[in-house]
Amino acid sequence: MSGTIFTVANGVTAIRVVLLGVFVVIVLRGDKNMALLLFMLAWLLDGLDGFAARALHQETAIGSMFDKVVDRLLIIGGSVLMVGSGMLPPSAILLLTKDICLAPVLSIHASRSEKIAGVGSGGKIITILQGLGLIYLLLELPAPSVTIGIVAVLGFWVAFVHVKSVAYPMRAV
């Protein structure tokens, strides 16, 4: 990983930040359809920034952190904002189970100035399911409780496995 800031991937992530700002304004104005469109665009661009970083060999530590922060702002901030504005039911907060469960672990790592390990492919899958779940709810498709329940249980499982691995790391024998 290099230390440069100006990469294509970071540029894509910066575009996501701008979209997030516009998204906030649109949600506060109550335009659910435009909010859905902006959320989907910002969420889909998340895959593009990672792909660009790997394909162009532009992976950077700051880019990785920038991407994670924007991901959390979009998923957590977007969810809370949409629930608060009435666009989503309060139960949509359960889509954030993984993030809520991991918050204390991340705080402990930060307080110890430790490197924060990723949650691996399970975490990536849950992030995808969180985004899909939010889109599903915004589209007002049938059986929202089932969608929320599945994502919440899987999110809890991923968080549990990660917390367990942090609390009880494997020791060399």
Beta bridge partners of 60: 2
DSSP assigned state of 13: H
Q: Is it the case that residue 96 has pLDDT exceeding 50? A: yes
Tell me the mean pLDDT in the region 130-156.
89
HSE, side-chain direction, 13 A CA sphere, residue 43? 23
Of the pLDDT bands very low, low, confident and very high (cuts 50, 70, 90), residue 31 is very high
Give CA torsion, residues 139, 145, 151, 156, to 10 deg.
150
Of the pLDDT bands very low, low, confident and very high (cuts 50, 70, 90), residue 173 is very low
Tell me the mean pLDDT in the region 112-136.
78
Q: Is it the case that residue 2 has pLDDT exceeding 60? A: no
Mean pLDDT of the chain: 84
Q: Is it the case that residue 23 has pLDDT exceeding 50? A: yes
Task: Give ∠ CA 68-69-73 in degrees, rounded to 5.
Answer: 120
Contacts of 100 (CB under 8 A, 6+ apart): 159
2 or 39, greater pLDDT: 39
Of the pLDDT bands very low, low, confident and very high (cuts 50, 70, 90), residue 54 is confident
Q: Is it the case that residue 136 has pLDDT exceeding 80? A: yes
Tell me the mean pLDDT in the region 95-111.
78
Q: Is 140 left (phi over 0), alpha (psi -120 to 50) or beta?
A: left
Q: pTM value?
A: 0.79
